[in-house]
Amino acid sequence: MEMRNCVKCKRPFTYRGVPICQDCEKDEEKVFDEVRTYIKQHPDVTLAVVSEVTGCSHKKILRWIKEGRIEISQASFGEIACESCGKPITKGRYCEKCVIKINNQVSDTFGKETISTQTKIDSKTGKAKMHIKGRG
């Protein structure tokens, strides 16, 4: 077993892959709950206010939002931007448009593959024939 000093309270603890001790981890969860509840009850609140009320740092709240653990109802936080286009977002890493764009790129590739596997050689004419649903 490896002993480490908690990065938060500096007390030695048994290391389990997280840099903080169990007590501090519990504290973090408590703060997380507070932050989440507060944002739920005050959907129009700004990051500065949440931080002040809960005593939780901006950085930590933003991390939770990016991880998708907390969802804010509007872009008033103004501090998270879509990693693709820079538009302010309320949750995760990309805005809705970019999520759709990324999904389309994926299905485009899939679509092409489906068509090529459906191209079969016609046994009578010996020519490649496209099999498209609803036609021919």
Rule CB under 5 A: is residue 98 a binding residue for Zn ion? yes
Question: Two tokens at 101?
Answer: 């764009």
Phi-psi region of 98 (alpha: psi -120 to 50; beta: other; left: phi over 0): alpha
Q: What CA–CA distance (Å, rounded) separates 97 from 17?
A: 36
Q: Within 37-56, which residues bind Zn ion (CB under 5 A)?
A: none
Question: Two tokens at 46?
Answer: 């700004």
Rule CB under 5 A: is residue 80 a binding residue for Zn ion? no
Contact call for residues 13 and 3 (beta carbons, < 8 A): yes
Strands 128-129 and 120-121: antiparallel
The residue within the footprint of Zn ion, chosen from 31, 62, 75, 82 (CB under 5 A), is: 82
Identify the DSSP state of 14: E
The residue within the footprint of Zn ion, chosen from 84, 90, 93, 129 (CB under 5 A), is: 84
Q: Which among 56-64, 69-77, 90-98, 105-113 is the span making contact with Zn ion, rule CB under 5 A? A: 90-98
Rule CB under 5 A: is residue 35 a binding residue for Zn ion? no
- Which residue number, 5 or 73, has a Cβ lying nearer to Zn ion? 5
Residues that bind Zn ion (CB under 5 A): 6, 8-9, 21, 24, 82, 84-85, 87, 95, 98
